Amino acid sequence: MTDQELPEPLDVIAVGAHPDDVEIAIGGTLANLVKQGYRVGIVDLTDGEPTPLSPGPEVRAQEALDAAEILGVQVREQLDLPNRRLFDNYESRVALAKVFRRYRPSVVLGIADKTPMASPDHWQAMQITDAGVFYSRLTKWDAEFDNLPVHTVKQLLWYPLGFGSLKSADQPGAFVTDISGCLEQKMAAIRAYKTQFPPEKKRVFTLVESQARLLGQTHNIEAGELLISPKPNVVKDLVQTFGL
């Protein structure tokens, strides 16, 4: 494949195990990035099916497209990896690395940790994403990646997905993104998954919105979302960052 055949690059790609993972955790961040003029994509490793109330993967896929449209993201792709049987293996790593090589993002956002009492796919997705970033930049291995050009992702960041604990905020590289003005957009994107969040699951909306508002009010803004860098962040202007 030549450079001329590649799609327009994306600035950011967010990776989730299932459709709705990304919206729940960082939907506001993605919507805000789009408003700032960046090109944003979402990659779902699986179709998330079967689930109790969904008629099938086609319905869930349409919900995902509706949610992406609400957020304004330019690209959404779904890999053909198995829900409930997602494992970090060579084939999964290569499949995701091909997406990174094709869209050449500067930043990749992936799941941060295990999610106790929730799907073990989330933990596997974290490992696949980390490995996919690494595989994307490996040289002398072109045949494994359909001869797509080598691409180095500049930064990998993680987003916490579980609501049972806020321990991720204690990590040295944790920071809050300002999603003021994008909270309703985030909630609307989650509500697009009608098969996943029927009225009896309205607790999810309360949890998501309350957490966003808590993170925001802690920093005197409307709402925020938590991201984690592998290393502590550098501050160039102390007053600009902390004195406003």
Low-confidence ranges of the chain (pLDDT < 50): 1-3
Residue 242: predicted pLDDT: 81
What is the distance between the alpha carbons of residues 6 and 194, in angstroms, rounded to a whole number? Answer: 34
The pLDDT assigned to 1 comes to 44
Report the pLDDT value the prediction gives residue 77, as an integer from 0 to 100: 98
Give the pLDDT confidence score for residue 75 in this predicted structure. 98
Predicted TM-score (pTM) of the model is: 0.95
Chain segment 22-49, per-residue pLDDT in tens: 999 999 999 999 999 999 999 999 999 9
Whole-angstrom Cα distance, residue 205 to residue 171?
A: 26
Alpha carbon 222 to chain centroid distance?
22
Which domains are seen in the chain, by residue range?
Answer: 3-242 (3.40.50.10320)
